[in-house]
Structure 1
């Protein structure tokens, strides 16, 4: 299921300052997906927000490898997110084990939780997950 991997891969954790100077500062840092299979490092990519896989467990690496994504570490999972007026961010999420990109929104629930939503078919079919901030990458 694409949304499991997307959310799993979308595991980012905030390590930004307590008082953000820019809206993206609150989203910057490390996030882990709810399955504990991926950690994503979120940060600036030009004037936008992006997130790259910094850690993945063996199963996530194998699933991605089966779709021709190897290595998984360093892959841009969150791509070109821009802020919306309602406090959410819109961009594209890449699902490595499917080799596909989906429209996506992310929203900070609180300092330690990020809601990641990916959609198919123009937003008619969507799935959401809560990613949790981590302070460091898991041990290998």
Structure 2
């Protein structure tokens, strides 16, 4: 019996190895400094209501609001905050070749949620923020200004 179980486990491992090994190799993050700064720069959201500056912070990446249109400034000010200088993307660490994970501050809700940034190309970011135990997610696209 012991020998049969051992053979079954060995067969299962051999069958899964071709599937698991490429996935494990691809899942490892690039070293910090190799691709981490590729999204450093100034970005604008799709509606051009907010501009953020992404840069290294600690051992990760963060993004701070450097410009907002008057309506956005007024909306956030109504909640008792100043959006200029507000760090929206916090503590992002590379989790794949063009992917980073961290937290996103949502001024409208005055809360922080989990986030993922994917660089779709050199000048485009897709930022996904998920709240409510990951059940509610929203994607925002950002275009590089500089």
* Fold agreement, TM-score > 0.5: yes
| Structure 2 CA distance for aligned equivalents of residues 128 and 94 of structure 1 | 14
Structure 1 segment 1-140 matched on structure 2, within 5 A: 22-70=34-82, 72-85=83-96, 87-135=98-146
Residue equivalent to 1:3? none
Aligned residues: 114
Q: Which runs of 5+ in 1 are unaligned?
A: 1-20, 136-140
Deviation at 1:52, TM superposition (A): 0.3
Between Structure 1 and Structure 2, whose CA radius of gyration is higher? 2
Q: Structure 2 CA distance, aligned partners of 1:66 and 1:81?
A: 28
Shift of 1:85: 3.2
Provide TM-score, normalisation by structure 2.
0.74
Q: Which runs of 5 or more residues in structure 2 are unaligned? A: 1-32
1:16 corresponds in structure 2 to none
Q: How far 1:86 moved relative to its partner?
A: 5.5
What CA distance in whole angstroms lies between the structure 1 residues aligned with 2:89 and 2:126? 13
> Which structure carries more relative contact order (alpha carbon 8 Å, separation 6+)?
1
Please identify runs of 4+ aligned residues in structure 1 that moved more than 6 A: none
The alignment's TM-score, normalised by the length of structure 1, stands at 0.77
1-structure distance, mates of 2:100, 2:118: 6
